[in-house]
């Protein structure tokens, strides 16, 4: 990048920085959303909540199905199981 280009684009530098940070946050969230270890941990927490009586049977079944669908989609791959968008 030349001196003139650098000076002319200097006012938009903060915007580029914010965009870069947003992209990094998005990438991290995507990795966590599709990490099988995270999904299994969420299933374990869900099971503990149900056993402790913190959630109802219907809530447990609904959330368990959602988590298992996500876990299955991760194992199958994005081409077959990306129906999670609602």
Residue-level pLDDT at 85: 45
pLDDT tens-digit readout, 37-84? 999 999 999 999 999 999 999 999 999 999 999 889 888 876 544 444
Residue-level pLDDT at 82: 47
Prediction pTM value: 0.58
How many other β-carbons are positioned within 10 Å of the β-carbon of residue 52?
Answer: 8
Our separate counts of H helices and E strands in the chain read: 5, 0
Residue-level pLDDT at 81: 44
* Paired tokens of 68: 């298992």
14 pLDDT more than 80: yes
Domain spans in the chain, listed from the N-terminal domain onward? 36-80
Of 66 and 13, more confident: 66
Residue-level pLDDT at 84: 46
């Amino acid at each position: 990048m030349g001196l003139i280009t650098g000076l002319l684009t200097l006012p938009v530098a903060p915007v580029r920085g914010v965009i870069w940070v947003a992209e990094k946050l998005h990438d991290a969230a995507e990795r966590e959303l599709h990490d099988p270890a995270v999904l299994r941990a969420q299933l374990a927490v869900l099971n503990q909540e149900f056993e402790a009586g913190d959630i109802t049977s219907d809530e447990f079944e609904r959330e368990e199905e959602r988590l298992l669908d996500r876990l299955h989609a991760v194992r199958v791959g994005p081409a077959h199981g990306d129906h999670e968008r609602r």
